[in-house]
Amino acid sequence: MKLKFLITSLTSCSGCISALMSLDVFPQFIERTELIYFPFIYDELQIHDCDVALIEGCVSENKQVEYLKKIRKHAKKVYALGTCAAFGGILSLSKKKEAQPISKFIEVDNIIPGCPPPSTLFGNCLINLVENKNFKLSTKNLCFECPYKSDLDKNSKITITKLNPEYNEIEQSSKNSSCFLNRGILCLGPITRDGCDHQCINQNLPCEGCLGPVSKDFTSNIINFLSLVNISKDLERYKGIYYRFSKPILKR
């Protein structure tokens, strides 16, 4: 019997849904499941009972909370799809809008992180869901298998002066590259979950943390990490470092 899937979005750029539909396994996914609710391609407006719900996007409006609760009531399992749904996402940088992960309002069975989720990770998770199996995310950080990790000088306190390489430093080849931290460039690889196949790093761009931390929350991890390095005054005042994908959830 085919599993029944519900796929929907809250506040988002729809990048995770686009990534889903671009996967090599998406045609196979369509054939092997029953899509009962997917506003991007179907006109069905009623939410019915389903086996799996994939929810993209963060909660930024009150009306979305009731929508979420209705989905949770009808779904056997709910998965947060992408960084916005899992952690709050890029809207966390806004001074006018709140960005909350869906787990603040409903129980979530697991997350598929990334902005958007990288294709290998996403495809593997999707196949497991179709086969009614659980999947596990990596418990290692991005540095564990980073091609530049042996270059990091662990004996000296690093000074961070910029967020990205200069334009003329960005190389398509990694042959002459070295650890971003040694080059004074902020890289969040030490506190970010492994699983993206180093897609940004292989293009000589530092990790920004979109797969989220292995444990705890973004902000506490970043603060602890930055306490181990020297950071320039300009960067110290830039709150985007701390809130790029999430803000700490206050307990009431």
- Predicted pLDDT at 209: 94
In the chain, the amino acid numbered 227 is S
Q: How far apart are CA 179 and CA 223, in angstroms?
A: 20
pLDDT digits (tens, 9 = 90+) for 52-77: 999 999 999 999 999 999 999 999 99
- Predicted pLDDT at 166: 82
Q: How far apart are CA 123 and CA 232, in angstroms?
A: 40
pLDDT digits (tens, 9 = 90+) for 90-118: 999 888 889 999 999 999 999 999 999 99
Q: Is the pLDDT of residue 172 over 70?
A: no
Of all residues in the chain, what percent carry a pLDDT higher than 70? Answer: 93
Distance in Å from the first CA to the final CA of the chain: 43
Average pLDDT over residues 34-56: 94
CA quadruple 53, 45, 89, 198: dihedral, nearest 10: 60
Q: Residue 128 half-sphere exposure, CB side, CA atoms within 13 Å?
A: 14
Phi and psi at residue 105, in whole multiples of 5°?
Answer: -115, -25
Q: Could you tell me the pTM of the whole model? A: 0.91
Which whole-number Å values give the CA distances from 107 to 60, 134, 239, 248, in the listed order?
A: 18, 16, 29, 18
